[in-house]
Amino acid sequence: MRQFVRWTTIRWILLTGLAVVAAMQFVPVARSNPPVEADVPAPPNVRAILRHACYDCHSNETVWPWYTRVAPFSWLVVRDVREGRAELNFSTWDRLSARQQIKHLQESWKEVAEGEMPPWYYVGIHPDAMLSLEDRAAVRTWALSAGPALEGNGEH
């Protein structure tokens, strides 16, 4: 009798959990890619690195894989993309003043150097986003050389 009660309880918990997950699918999330206004001016090798490691969260060119249609993963991904675009959006780079662009380059390089970007959970799902030592060196060289060039534009 005791084993029957245990199985009944487990089955009730599983069915309830399944019902909750099914109900979660009806909560809408907005997955969108607004038009690209301007792309960040970077050499082709750096742009390729940014595209495979940064653009899903930091541009209007997000790739929305199948799991972005399944709650609660969809909620987390949409939130991360929204926050990433708000912090830095390479597709609206021209909206930033030269001073803001320099600041974003410095902050971006600092986060890459400290291993904060791309985040571990993103790299876990997208192993191709892992930055090699060569990738890091290319981003560093670009970020450090682009700053003085932007300062020369006189937009402060």
Top pLDDT among 143 and 86 is at 86
Across all residues in the chain, what is the average pLDDT? 87
Top pLDDT among 143 and 83 is at 83
Q: State the amino acid at position 41 in one-letter form.
A: P
What percent of the chain is modeled with pLDDT above 90?
A: 58
Which residues, at least 6 apart from 139, have a Cβ–Cβ distance to it below 8 Å? 46, 49, 50, 108, 109, 112, 131
User: What's the pLDDT band for 4 if we cut at 50, 70, 90?
Assistant: low
pLDDT digits (tens, 9 = 90+) for 16-74: 878 777 767 777 788 899 999 988 889 999 999 999 999 999 999 999 999 888 888 89
- Of 86, 27, 24, 23, which Cα lies nearest the Cα of 60? 86
- Give the model's pLDDT for residue 25: 72
The b-or-e profile of 95-123 (16+ CB within 10 A means b, else e) is: ebebeebbebbeebbeebeeeebbeeebb
Note the pTM of the prediction, 2 decimals. Answer: 0.79
User: What's the pLDDT band for 155 if we cut at 50, 70, 90?
Assistant: very low
What is the torsion angle, in degrees rounded to the nearest 10, for the CA atoms of residue 105, residue 106, residue 109 and residue 114?
-150
User: What's the pLDDT band for 1 if we cut at 50, 70, 90?
Assistant: low
- Give the model's pLDDT for residue 39: 86
